[in-house]
């Protein structure tokens, strides 16, 4: 047992282990952390979980587009600092907020089964019953994501796209209480976790808008040297989600993409085959490079014994076949290289420069 995990003496003389979970303060972050806590409680009834909530830079700077703040660890830095100082033992994140490389000493110890990863259209109440296709021309759509804006500008040239920031509650309030936006685009997963399924007017298909790397999946970040905590949370890994997300993260990492460039993906596991579609876009969506590749990710029973061998794009999954993990990572890198050979670097560099100049 790690020396830094606190122990509490219960009234009945029984010793119970205390594990502190770090989370952002937003309602969605709390809901996500609570869902992981309840899974851990079911699996380890003797463990006492304490939830520690804190604000991050991304929560505090609400008037600037995310892509302008500088993308790395916007919603994760303070949480990682607490992890480093042993103030918390595990941190729950939306996987899409976690960079493809983590600071030394940290790893993703669990990726849970993915919620619907697609984007959703939430309409202003006055537009109930409409879709992006049927909204009046020049309607303003709110989105804080360059990836969504690039794809949707190309697909719906008759609409206008403007930046909108804030957590889910804030964005919905801005939509409903003002007349600035005809609709906003949000991740379906967040709306579902908040219990706001009834606000989803339309789920965007991959033809309309592919999703962000890791979208819809929750990740548990831990200290890499805490072997017992790593082992404890590893049972939360959902193998198909892990393989899909490793291929997506490897694709993004090889492209050197991040929040400040439009990169989108779509993955599927069918039998032993993993399919990855990836794309890069110019900011206005006019330039696009897109391709699909697949690879066999047969889950054999050869599970990695050595922790060192089994870290893939910052994910440690010692309980999943290492050959399957290797194949998923290779698929992401191979697809990125195909797009880079077609000129993806130029599209991304231009997008980054234009975004910085805004």
* Residues catalogued as catalytic: 97
Strand partners, 186: 120
Closest CA to 312 of 261, 260, 262, 237: 237
The total number of residues written for the chain in this structure: 358
Exposure letters 38-74 (e unless 16+ CB within 10 A, then b): ebbeeeeeeeebeeeebebebbeeeeebbbeeeeebb
**The two structure tokens encoding residue 60:** 């505090």
Which segments of the chain are extended strands (E)?
7-9, 15-24, 48-54, 90-94, 106-111, 119-123, 140-142, 160-162, 183-187, 202-203, 218-223, 263-270, 273-281, 288-296, 311-312, 315-316
The interaxial angle of helices 344-357 and 146-155, nearest 10 deg, is 110
Strand partners, 328: none
What is the distance between the alpha carbons of residues 78 and 83, in angstroms, rounded to a whole number?
A: 9
Give every strand in the sheet of 183-187, ordered side by side.
160-162, 140-142, 183-187, 119-123, 202-203
């Amino acid at each position: 047992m790690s020396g830094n995990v606190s122990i509490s003496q219960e009234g009945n003389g029984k010793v119970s282990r205390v594990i502190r979970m770090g989370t952002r303060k937003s309602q969605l972050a709390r809901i996500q952390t609570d869902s992981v806590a309840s899974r851990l409680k079911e699996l380890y009834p003797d463990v006492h979980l304490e939830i520690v909530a804190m604000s991050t830079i991304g929560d505090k700077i609400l008037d600037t587009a995310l892509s302008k703040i500088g993308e790395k660890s916007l919603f994760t830095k303070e949480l990682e600092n607490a992890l480093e100082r042993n103030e918390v033992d595990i941190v729950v994140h939306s996987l899409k907020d976690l960079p493809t490389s983590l600071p030394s000493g940290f790893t993703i110890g669990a990726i849970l089964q993915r919620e619907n990863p697609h984007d959703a259209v939430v309409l202003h109440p006055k537009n109930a019953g409409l879709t992006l296709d049927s909204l009046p021309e020049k309607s303003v759509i709110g989105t804080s994501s360059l990836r969504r804006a690039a794809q949707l500008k190309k697909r719906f040239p008759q609409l206008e796209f403007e930046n909108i920031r804030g957590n889910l509650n804030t964005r919905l309030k801005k939509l409903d209480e003002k007349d600035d936006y005809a609709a906003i685009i949000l991740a379906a997963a967040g709306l579902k976790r908040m219990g706001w399924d009834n606000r989803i007017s339309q789920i965007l298909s991959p033809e309309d808008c592919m999703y962000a790397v890791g979208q819809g999946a929750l990740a548990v970040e831990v200290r890499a040297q805490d072997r017992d905590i790593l082992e404890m949370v590893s049972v939360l890994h959902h193998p198909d989600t892990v393989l899909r997300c490793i291929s997506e993260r490897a694709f993004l990492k090889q492209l050197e993409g991040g929040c400040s460039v439009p990169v989108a993906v779509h993955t599927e596991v069918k039998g032993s085959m993993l399919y990855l579609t990836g794309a890069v876009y110019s900011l206005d969506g006019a330039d696009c490079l897109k391709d699909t590749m697949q690879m066999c990710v047969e889950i054999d029973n050869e599970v990695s014994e050595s922790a060192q061998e089994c870290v893939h794009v910052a994910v440690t999954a010692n309980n999943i076949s290492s050959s399957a993990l290797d194949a998923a990572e290779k698929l992401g890198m191979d697809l990125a290289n195909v797009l880079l050979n077609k000129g993806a670097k130029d599209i991304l560099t231009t997008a980054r420069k234009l975004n910085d100049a805004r």
